[in-house]
Amino acid sequence: MKKIIIGITDCSKYDAYAKWIEREEGVEALRLSYTNNNFQDIEKCHGIVLSGGEDIHPRYYNKSEYVEQYNLDDIIDDRDALEWKVLEYVRDRKLPLLGICRGLQVANVFFGGTLIPDIPSFGKFNHSKFPEYDRYHTIQVDPDSLLAKIVGSNQGSVNSAHHQSADLIGKDLVVNAISPDNVVEGIEWKNPKGKPFLMLVQWHPERMKDQESTYTKNIRSAFVESVRASN
């Protein structure tokens, strides 16, 4: 089996993402790091995972005032800049893309969407993690979506560890899953024909308690299979 290399954007929990993706046979993870300034290594990659972590600066969706209005102090400018370049590369080279948590948010903004800067402030239930562990809640999946085809169901239980979410959805994208209080939980292409694989999920499949759940295992396998098919 030909080895494939999956680039994963750097974050404090990078090792969890790398271990998770490398559970697929013949897959090697490669760290794309804003601290190591190694963007050029993306040329070795056959697919990309955008990892979770800090808030993207709201100037990327023309809402710089959100920084003070919602006390957004969890921002790393160098990370934002690197991941924007990664997304430009993915778009231009038509690479398969899997976005996780922040990854969903930055990709949605890249395609012209916006974010809710703080979910409870916008009248939704708290989706942040507890001090020692993730929340869990159900999600409803669009039965006609690619996500439904991948996970094999229209409803499931996923973990939750975020205080922001997608608001306006980016160009050519569509929501494929929502929480009970209508927070966006997944995004994919509106019309995938002729486009590379793209799946954006708000939960953390790499650290769900049940690693045999189709909401983690099947998503990873579908992504890796799409990478193999495109190489």
Region of 97 please: left (phi>0), alpha (psi -120 to 50) or beta.
beta
Active-site position among 46, 101, 163, 188 = 101
Active-site position among 46, 57, 163, 204 = 204
Nearest to 185 by CA among 210, 151, 211, 217: 151
* Placement of tokens 């922040």 in the chain: 102
**Has 206 been annotated as catalytic?**
yes
173-178 sheet: strands from edge to edge? 27-32, 4-9, 47-50, 97-100, 198-201, 184-189, 173-178, 135-141, 155-160
**Has 24 been annotated as catalytic?**
no
Q: How far apart, in whole angstroms, are the C-alpha atoms of residue 128 and residue 215?
A: 19
Nearest to 105 by CA among 164, 171, 43, 30: 164
Nearest to 184 by CA among 202, 160, 206: 202
With helix as H, strand as E and coil as C, how does 62-91 read?
CCCCHHHHCCCCCECHHHHHHHHHHHHHHH
- The catalytic residues are 101, 204, 206
